Structure 1
Amino acid sequence: MSRKTNIIIVSVILGFVAAAVIGFLIWWLVTDTEEFTIIKLEGEGIGDIEYTAAFTRIRGSGDIFWWFYPTLPAVKIIKPIILWVDGVTGVPPSLLANFGMFGPYDFNLNQRSDSWINNYNLLFVDAPLGTGFSTAQSDSQIPGNLDATTDHLLFTLESFYRLHEDYADTPLYIFGEGHGAQIALALARRLASTDPPGRFQHNLKGVVLGNGIVSPALALTKLGFYLEELGYIDANGRAAIETLSEDVSSSVSGGQLRDAFDKFITLGDFVNEKAGAVAVNLGHIVDKLTREASRDYFGQRQYMQEKFGLDAFSFMQETVAPALGIPSDVSFDYNRAAVVDAFRNNFMSPATPHVEFLLRNTDLKVVIYNGNLDAVSNTPGQLEWVDNLQWPGQEEFKTTPRRTLVINRLVEGYFRETPRLSFYWMNAAGQSVPLDSPLAMRRILDRITQPK
């Protein structure tokens, strides 16, 4: 072999090596700067209904779990997407909203005939990190504010649209129940903002707040009145609650949000032990309790336990996780206490500025529905902040006549509706209207999403 041939061979080899090195560097640079990756779960699944379950792995933070069910009708992309979040003190959407309320299967894994997927695309997101199947790399990575949580949800939505590009123009509605209302508002505001421009295409149409913890200190000012009028406490109990409310409001006004939260989070014990109610579930006040009944943050978990008669959290860990292919080292809702602690400095901050921003600066619908049996987000307290919103359409909203919501000749509630802002008073429903009044909630959903 000639010396010239050897030189050519060596040059070719060196060329391949250089190309490989350059390719590796390009790959390394791209992957190193990628802010998230998508881990699509490949378990056997539950039933025959199509779904996508995945983690959005956010670099340096953790994994956000999301579960998407496309609607059953053939033309899926024209049906709205319902994105559901529940926040810090509620029950993860992958559990309650999904199996307990309107997902395709119930807790017995029987297909639900009245599931929302008959008419809507459903996207359940366990947020913030540390709730549901969403896991943080460490407790220090659990977000303690809405901005960081919104960042995580933006990555999650971007990963959703990467896997489902056909849905970019599909109408999107963000639903937030309880504290999830604050998260829904912050996410809607960020998506609606043009500065900075969005990283992905979407078609956000509105935000829907269910028994939202939007201005908790203000809502608390009406709790004593609410409980006394219903006979759960007397005048002394009302005075005690109003003193607590004044303390909480003073702490919020003085910027002592952590102190305000520590008082607010003990509301159930305070009402029962110091205001004389003895055994009231604040999330569903007609729920009869014993003196010894254990109470979670605001009674929702206990009510769910009684409603379905099973350990739903074990069901998620032992049945759902293996079916989806979730790693065995992921424990369902294991870090809830750490999440609550992380949000202590921000939970009590009013989210009404987000509502006003959306009403002033966008054409999005803002819809509020409130179960009248929820004492924490009691309806008189909710109307305190709703009736004091500052935006150009407020006078039209306040002067619009209230109408009756009738289904099958039964009065399910009342509503006041303008093109931009709607409020629904829901009878015989607590913290979760879709759970307590499913037919009425479907009517509300149709009114929200269907053109008038």
Structure 2
Amino acid sequence: MEKLPHLLSIFLFIALHFHGGKVVAFKTQDGSEEWGYVQVRPKAHMFWWLYRSPYRVEDPSKPWPIVLWLQGGPGASGVGIGNFEEVGPLNTYLKPRNSTWLKKADLLFVDNPVGTGYSFVEDKKLFVKTDVEAATDLTTLLIELFNRDEKLQKSPLFIVAESYGGKFAVTLGLSALEAIEAGKLKLRLGGVALGDSWISPEDFVFSWGPLLKDLSRLDDSGLQQSNSIAERIKQQLEDGKFVEATDSWTELESVISIKSNHVDFYNFLEDEGSDDVATLELALNKKISMKRYSRYLTSLRSRSRTPGGDGDLDTLLNGVIKKKLKIIPENVTWGGQSGHVFDYLAGDFMKPRINEVDELLAKGVNVTVYNGQIDLICSTKGTDAWVHKLKWEGLKNFLAKDRTPLYCGSDKSTTKGFLQSYKNLFFYWILKAGHFVPTDQPCVALEMVGAITQSPAT
């Protein structure tokens, strides 16, 4: 029986790669894992971690895929959160994850943008200020990794994103296509998948009040206040006052939290873990951006924690994992610059990326949208609203299609979700899942990613 990698039993073999002075990488002795830094710009260092699947199926007609996972935030770590909390081979207790996406694909995690997770900059001026700048750095990373490895080039790459990562995914998709067409990047783009993604902030903030009113979490007064701030945000976006819109978004979240008695923005059926969050916020003593990041961590951790240890992600990534990786500079703390990442992107945070989705669809790229039913921050109601705004020529036919019910494995007794598709647009409604779909509904999420990637293991 094939074994998943067990962290504590791996013996390391150091492989230093210098490609134009930009890449430094380590790998395990059996080649199942490789990780390192790419200097995407002078003094700007992006960390990546590649897992090669032990479940790989060799099928000439169906090449084995690679999933590039992009986390949200902005400033949340894919190497930490996506890997250990959601889809990687091991959970935060370093136990094998039965629902790891390695069963369907190889997995490439990155800490993006620079300053996120283990990634770091040597000068604050080097933090990215736009999604496009982040995509340019990611494209540089892909060029350095794929152009030097023919094995990687044979596998189609699927960009799968969560939350704010969706904005990075669509800008990266377009940037990568441009680099491929120019002959600068040797890569096959398989598709882009947007999980509970912050594609149209305006549509999401307008969804919160009515949705929570229908769920009895807001009264008429709360609804009126919510809609009033949402209208202000809309006007600020129209006037190009994007930083002000981000400030208003922060105000709206506070109003929603107070008027709903602290609804969980990542699962509207629950209350926010306010005690844990308060403890984290006091300990961090940082500005609102860092508080948002800690709340993001806390919300996910509360869904994935199991008995037998604390499973704390900060302790894990700054302890045993940092020791294993060997390559992380001593003065770099995992997540230490994440607050700055959010701050520097404040001018882009509320900008929509619907046009980029349209461009990808027009270019024939497979675009998948998936959303958890009980997510609030990137609600299905908001996602449905921005999908209806697409100018893609196939939208009318897409909207006319009936949805197909989804089940898990051979069990047809419980509906797990729905799928609607036409040509290269796919929309998955995942029932009983919040913001973190792979954690809340691991079985249907695994089957979904198998379908998205057309994995030969499906």
TM-score interval for Structure 1 and Structure 2 normalised by the shorter chain: 0.7 to 0.9
- Distance in 1 (CA, whole Å) between partners of 2:193 and 2:151 is 24
Measure how far apart 1:166 and its partner are. 1.5
**How far does the alpha carbon of each residue in 1:51-92 deviate from its partner, in whole angstroms, 9 at most, with x for none?**
001100133241100000012145569211000111333631
Task: Answer whether contact 2:171 2:356 (CA < 8 A) is retained.
Answer: yes
Name the counterpart of 1:200.
185
Name the counterpart of 2:225.
240
Measure how far apart 1:302 and its partner are. 1.7
Q: 2:311 matched to 1:306? A: no
**How far does the alpha carbon of each residue in 1:432-451 deviate from its partner, in whole angstroms, 9 at most, with x for none?**
10111011111211221228
Measure how far apart 1:133 and its partner are. 0.6
Q: Number of residues paired by the alignment?
A: 414
Measure how far apart 1:278 and its partner are. 1.4
Displaced runs of 4 or more, over 6 A: none
Q: 2:81 matched to 1:96? A: yes
- Distance in 2 (CA, whole Å) between partners of 1:81 and 1:291 is 38
Measure how far apart 1:196 and its partner are. 6.6
Measure how far apart 1:365 and its partner are. 0.6
Unaligned 5+ residue runs, structure 2?
1-17, 279-290
Aligned Cα root-mean-square deviation (Å): 2.3
Residue 67 of structure 2 aligns to a residue whose secondary structure is strand
1:84 to 31, 50, 69: 69
Task: Answer whether contact 1:182 1:212 (CA < 8 A) is retained.
Answer: yes
Q: 2:424 matched to 1:420? A: yes
Name the counterpart of 1:445.
449
Name the counterpart of 1:3.
none
**How far does the alpha carbon of each residue in 1:369-419 deviate from its partner, in whole angstroms, 9 at most, with x for none?**
011211111111111110120011011101001221122221111121112
- Seen in structure 2, the aligned counterparts of structure 1 residues 260 and 35 have a Cα distance that, compared at 3 Å, is farther
Name the counterpart of 1:380.
381
Q: 2:411 matched to 1:432? A: no
Deviates more, 1:153-162 or 1:226-235: 153-162
- Seen in structure 2, the aligned counterparts of structure 1 residues 290 and 203 have a Cα distance that, compared at 3 Å, is closer
- Distance in 2 (CA, whole Å) between partners of 1:316 and 1:39 is 20
Name the counterpart of 2:357.
355
Name the counterpart of 1:142.
127
Deviates more, 1:402-411 or 1:63-72: 402-411
**How far does the alpha carbon of each residue in 1:203-253 deviate from its partner, in whole angstroms, 9 at most, with x for none?**
101100000000101221111111111111111111111011001111111
- Seen in structure 2, the aligned counterparts of structure 1 residues 281 and 349 have a Cα distance that, compared at 3 Å, is same
Measure how far apart 1:49 and its partner are. 7.6
Deviates more, 1:117-126 or 1:278-287: 278-287
Name the counterpart of 1:297.
292
Task: Answer whether contact 1:224 1:242 (CA < 8 A) is retained.
Answer: yes
Q: 2:277 matched to 1:277? A: no
- Seen in structure 2, the aligned counterparts of structure 1 residues 255 and 395 have a Cα distance that, compared at 3 Å, is same
Task: Answer whether contact 2:213 2:219 (CA < 8 A) is retained.
Answer: yes
Q: 2:38 matched to 1:56? A: yes
Q: 2:59 matched to 1:69? A: no
- Distance in 1 (CA, whole Å) between partners of 2:43 and 2:233 is 32
Deviates more, 1:348-357 or 1:84-93: 84-93
- Seen in structure 2, the aligned counterparts of structure 1 residues 353 and 290 have a Cα distance that, compared at 3 Å, is closer
- Kindly report which structure 2 residues correspond to 1:24-423, keeping only aligned pairs within 5 A, or say none: 37-41=22-26, 50-73=32-55, 78-89=63-74, 91-193=76-178, 197-273=182-258, 276-289=259-272, 292=275, 294=277, 296-297=291-292, 299-307=295-303, 308=305, 309-325=310-326, 326-360=328-362, 362-407=363-408, 408=411, 409-423=413-427
Residue 41 of structure 1 aligns to a residue whose secondary structure is strand
- Distance in 2 (CA, whole Å) between partners of 1:339 and 1:289 is 24
Provide the TM-score with structure 2 as the length reference.
0.85
Task: Answer whether contact 1:72 1:119 (CA < 8 A) is retained.
Answer: no
- Quick one: which amino acid aligns to residue 448 of structure 1? I
- Quick one: which amino acid aligns to residue 315 of structure 1? L
Measure how far apart 1:163 and its partner are. 4.5
- Seen in structure 2, the aligned counterparts of structure 1 residues 138 and 119 have a Cα distance that, compared at 3 Å, is same
- Distance in 2 (CA, whole Å) between partners of 1:449 and 1:208 is 10
- Quick one: which amino acid aligns to residue 381 of structure 2? P
Task: Answer whether contact 1:35 1:58 (CA < 8 A) is retained.
Answer: no
- Quick one: which amino acid aligns to residue 225 of structure 1? P
- Distance in 1 (CA, whole Å) between partners of 2:321 and 2:76 is 16
- Quick one: which amino acid aligns to residue 441 of structure 1? A
Measure how far apart 1:35 and its partner are. 6.9
Measure how far apart 1:266 and its partner are. 4.2
Who wins on radius of gyration, i.e. which is larger? 1
**How far does the alpha carbon of each residue in 1:315-371 deviate from its partner, in whole angstroms, 9 at most, with x for none?**
1011111101122221101111111110011111110110011111x1211100011
Which one scores higher on RCO, CA 8 angstroms, separation ≥ 6?
2
Q: Give the share of equivalent positions with the same residue, in percent.
A: 24
Provide the TM-score with structure 1 as the length reference.
0.86
- Distance in 2 (CA, whole Å) between partners of 1:186 and 1:86 is 14
- Distance in 1 (CA, whole Å) between partners of 2:427 and 2:56 is 33
Residue 151 of structure 2 aligns to a residue whose secondary structure is helix
- Distance in 1 (CA, whole Å) between partners of 2:217 and 2:210 is 10
- Seen in structure 2, the aligned counterparts of structure 1 residues 311 and 400 have a Cα distance that, compared at 3 Å, is same
Measure how far apart 1:114 and its partner are. 3.1
Name the counterpart of 2:288.
none
